[in-house]
Each structure stands twice: as C-alpha cells, then as structure tokens.
Amino acid sequence: MADVKASEVKTLRDRTGAGMMDCKKALVECNGNIEEAVDWLRKKGLAAAAKKSGRVAAEGLVGICVHGNRGAVVEINAETDFVARNELFQKYVGDVVELACEHNCDVEHLKTLEYPGTGRNVSDELMNLIAIIGENMGVRRVKHVSVSDGIVASYIHNKISANLGKIGILVALESSGDKEKLLEIGKKIAMHIAAANPQSTTIEDLDPALLEREKDVVTEQAKSTGKPAEFIEKIVEGRIRKFYEEVILLEQVFVIDGSTKVKEVVAAASKEIGAPITIKGFTKFALGEGIERQVVDFAAEVAAQLS
C-alpha cells in the first residue's frame, strides 16, 4: 500500500473537488501517482475533468514582446504580489522579454545573455535585483511564435502595463492580406484564447497522450452505464466530439459572439481581407500555472483527520 501524505491528499482534493477520503483511496489505488489518481476519480464519477494548470501559486509577472512577424512571452516569478508592482522588477521583466524576442532563444540561453547597461548577464542581474528588493525571484520560462508572412497578435490580461500582466497570449496568423485588419482579428482571437484556454489549434496537432487519456476516461464512464457495446461506442464518439469543442481552438465557440466557431470566424475574415488566413500557432502563459502553493496549516488539519 502506498504511503499517502496529507499534502498529497490536499493537492488531489484541490485538483478535483472530490471528498477527502475518496482522494485518499484514489492515491492508495494509484500508488501515490497524482495524475493517475485524478483519472481514477473521474472514472468513478467522483470528480469533474481536472484542469491541468491546477491552482495558481506563484507571483510575479508575465511579459510579452512582438517584433513584426515574431513574438516572445516570458514568465518571471517572485514570492509576493508586492514585487509585481515594483518599478525595478517591471523594468527587468520588460528588458528580459525584449532580449528573448530579439534572440529567439530558450530560457537557459536567455539567462546567459548580456543584460543592457550593466556588464552583467540576465541571471546575474536578477541576483542583483534580489539583493535590492530582498525577495527570491526566478526566470521560469520563455516561448516564441512566428510566421513567415502575416502578423503576431498579443493580449495581456490583468495588465500592469501595455506588455506586462498575469496572463499573456501570442497568436500567429499567416496571410498575405491587409496586415491592419489581420492584426484586428488576431487580437480578438488572442482574447478568446485567454478566456477559452484551448490546448491546440487543430484536432491533428492535439497531444496524442491527452486524447488517449480522455478516451480512456470516457470509455470507462460509458461502460459504467451498462449499455450494449454498440451504444457505448456511440457514446464515446459523442463525448470525444464534445471534448474537441472544448479544447481545440478552431472547434471552440468564439467567446466574443458566443455562437460562431473560431474556424468560421477565420473563414469570414479571410473573405473580408481577400486572402486566406491560417492560425499557425499560439501560446498562453498564465502566471504561476502548474506551481502548487503549500498551505501547511490545512495539510496539518487533513493529517489530523486521517490519523
């Protein structure tokens, strides 16, 4: 039997909303594996579909930068929201995302680049900033999007300045059509992505592992109905179609009008500008996604109840 920790029960409970004892049982059945326990609870009908991002725990800022047909987004974390309002920290994030966009590099290379006007690199300048502000910080991640002929549109949610905030979106649209009109539709799609959180642009580029995981869950759910095999197959097909509508950008309903699919919006925009439009890629950074905040008092409370 797996040795289940109270903190793991809390994490699973936060992820799924399932009862405490159900979470403990799921972890025991899955040898402490959180992801497998999430699926176990879903198969038993004890949890809704888990959100991969979990609960946002880290503070800091997301920064975006667009130079014509390419763009970059970075996340730089700090311990408290207070630092995000610090002008020195804001300048640092803005400078780092500019460097990222200019050099089109991964996060480890980014840390080695020369930070402007200091004689230090990006990593050493962050250490200097930590000494000044007195709080731990880290350059967590960076991602890029680009297009050969077209535009990169951006959107910042909960923004502190034009290019800094808590959620950053970049979307690349390829088209030979009017760039101003293309940018207008691109910004709307970026806002949609912020709200709808798609996992991929098309069905074809959806992560196969994510799809197989969902098929496994909905198949088990369908079998639990006790219906004949031919009906179970139809149920699974229907639920997978619904899944596509939830996680595929082009299959989602456009949040701005609430009725038209994104692929129909793109088709209409293509006619308007007189040239085909293709969404070549997008990226979304939400501050702190995937980082768990440790709540010691709550874990202790759970431990007391499990003992």
pLDDT number for residue 237: 87
Secondary structure (3-state) at 25: helix
Give the three-class secondary structure for 41: helix
CA angle 154, 156, 118 (to 5 degrees): 90
pLDDT for 163: 94
Residue closest to 34 by CA, chosen among 57, 46, 16, 55: 16
For 59-194+278-286, CATH number?
3.30.479.20
Q: What stretches in the chain show pLDDT beneath 50?
A: 49-57, 296, 298, 301-302, 304-307
The hierarchical CATH code for the domain 1-55+293-307 is: 1.10.8.10
Domain boundaries, the chain: 1-55+293-307, 59-194+278-286
Q: Give strand ranges (E) for the chain.
A: 59-67, 70-78, 137-146, 150-157, 164-165, 167-174, 278-286
Tokens of 93: 């994030």
Contacts of 113 (CB under 8 A, 6+ apart): 99, 103, 105, 121, 122
Looking at residue 137, the DSSP 8-state letter turns out to be E
User: 273, 178 in Cβ contact below 8 A?
Assistant: yes
Query: Same topology for domains 1-55+293-307 and 59-194+278-286, yes or no?
Result: no
- The encoded tokens of residue 244 equal 């596509």
What's the token pair of residue 302? 């759970």
Q: What is the pTM of this model?
A: 0.75
The DSSP output letter for 250 is: G
Strand ranges of the sheet holding 150-157, from the earlier edge strand across to the other edge: 150-157, 167-174, 278-286
Q: Report the run of H or E that residue 159 belongs to, with start and end.
A: none
- pLDDT score recorded for residue 292: 60
